[in-house]
Each structure stands twice: as C-alpha cells, then as structure tokens.
Amino acid sequence: DTGVSQDPRHKITKRGQNVTFRCDPISEHNRLYWYRQTLGQGPEFLTYFQNEAQLEKSRLLSDRFSAERPKGSFSTLEIQRTEQGDSAMYLCASSSTPGLAVRSYEQYFGPGTRLTVT
Amino acid sequence: AQSVTQLDSHVSVSEGTPVLLRCNYSSSYSPSLFWYVQHPNKGLQLLLKYTSAATLVKGINGFEAEFKKSETSFHLTKPSAHMSDAAEYFCVVSEGGSQGNLIFGKGTKLSVKP
C-alpha cells in the first residue's frame, strides 16, 4: 500500500491558463474523490468516480472544471481559463466501495496539489 | 441535508492536560462520522470513525470520540495532550451508501503549550 499520490504538489499559473492535476489512488480502491480546500476552511467535495464512471458532481464544479478517470485507475482534474478564485489546495482521496470491505467508508487522502493563480 | 458544526475554531491546551474538541452534526440518515487530522504541509489522516457499532470509538494516538445520538454530538477527546498533537482537526459526516462523499466541518486548530 503506497498511499494516494498527487502530482504536481505545487502549481503556480497565470490567470486564464489551463492546468491539469493527476491523482493516483491506492491500487485496490475503486472509488476516487476530488475535494477543494481553501485557506481556513475544511475540504469541500467536488466529484467522485466509481471505477471509470463519474457518479456525482458538486455544484462547485463549474463548466471550467473537468475530471476524468479513463481506465478506472488514475484520475485527472483540469481547470480551464483559471481565475484567482481557483487558488486552493486540491485533494484527492480513494476508498473501496461500501459493502465490499470492513473499512469501506474510509477515504484515504493524498498530500494535495496547491494551486496559486496570479 | 447533512452538516457538521465544530464549535471551536481554536483550542489551546497545555502539554499533559486533557483535550476536548467539540462537534455537532445534522443528518437525515444514520450517519458515519469521522475525525481527521491535518498537520502543516501534510495530508489528511484518519484518526477514528463511527459506523453504527460501539458508540465509544477509539482511534490512533490515544484519541477517542463518543457518538451521542440524543445530543447529535461526536466530541473528540484525549486524556493528555502531547506537543505533537498540535494540528488542525476536522469532524466529518458521510451519508455513505451510494454516495459516500464526505462533508467536513470548518476545522479546529489545536495548539499545545509546553
């Protein structure tokens, strides 16, 4: 179990540019979640996948945001035409599907990608 | 709609004294409740979880929490604080089932004085 990894750890970009983040979940987990955390706040849910299917999207996920998990393994989160308000820590988490494991509801988090939009 | 309220944004204790971080939740269903800890520049780590088994839940590093349905509370405690406990703590609720996304409180920053 190597844990959830995210790349890059830090990203500085200019307003209007596109950025893409990657998340590699724990290998046996079929659920993958994206959250956003702004300074002084708790993480907020953005979207999640079960295998390659995107099952839920938060209203926080504007049209400029898109997430994919093409083969049910790693996932990417892309932000188009970045705005200063997108500056935040983007967290990825993974878990098993409820019912398939004793600790099925536990989500394991990666270290996050800190995005700064200038 | 589910929600979590952490009653204190900042708690300061002396090393060796008890820790109490308070959390109230609102849920239409039988919830799963969690406490996560976030150390500076590190990822979120699960401290403990409640999923409708024993109401007193023991976690890592000597922390425990008690689920009180009548009070809709899930307070986190530790008998004796250690300097390494200084961090941000999040109370979290999950409806589970087909969704499973977590709803976080705003966090409580724990400071530990020597």
* Record: contact B102-A43, CB cut-off 8 A: yes
Report whether A13 contacts A81 (CB < 8 A). no
pLDDT at A16: 97
Which residue in A44, A58, A105 is closest to B96 by CB distance?
A: A105
Looking at residue A104, what is its pLDDT? 46
pLDDT at residue B43, as a whole number = 86
- 3-state class (DSSP) for residue A67: strand
Q: What are the backbone angles phi and psi of residue A98, rounded to the nearest 5°?
A: -50, 135
Q: Which of A42, A108, A111 sits opposite B104 (nearest CB)?
A: A42
pLDDT at A2 over 80: no
Beta-carbon contacts of residue B24 (< 8 Å; ≥ 6 apart): B4, B5, B7, B71, B72, B73, B74
pLDDT of residue B4: 93
Report d(CA B51, CA B40) in Å as an integer.
28
Closest residue to A95, CB basis, from B51, B90, B100: B100
> Is B106 close to A42, i.e. CB distance below 8 A?
yes
pLDDT in tens, A35-64: 999 988 999 999 999 999 998 888 888 899
Mean pLDDT value of segment A64-88: 95
Interface residue ranges in chain B relative to chain A, Cβ cutoff 8 Å: 32, 34, 36, 42-46, 49, 51, 90, 92, 94, 96-107
The lowest-confidence range among A5-14, A95-104, B84-93 is: A95-104
Cα of B44 to nearest chain A Cα, Å: 6
A29 touches chain B (CB under 8 A): no
CB-based contact B106 A105, cutoff 8 Å:
no
> Could you list the pLDDT tens digit for every one of the 114 residues in chain B?
788 999 999 999 999 999 999 999 987 777 889 999 999 878 899 999 987 778 899 999 999 999 998 999 999 999 999 999 999 999 998 865 555 688 999 999 999 999
Our measurement of the distance from residue A80's CA atom to the centroid of its chain's CA atoms, rounded to an integer in Å, reads 15
pLDDT band at A102; cut points 50, 70, 90: very low
Q: Does residue A103 surpass a pLDDT of 60?
A: no
Percentage of chain A lying above the pLDDT 90 cut: 71
The pLDDT value given to residue B54 = 82
Instruction: Find, in chain A, the residue whose alpha carbon is nearest to that of B43.
Output: A111
Task: Assess A76–B contact: CB distance below 8 Å, yes or no.
Answer: no
Q: How many CB pairs under 8 A join A and B?
A: 60
User: Beta strands B102-104 and B64-68: pairing type?
Assistant: unpaired
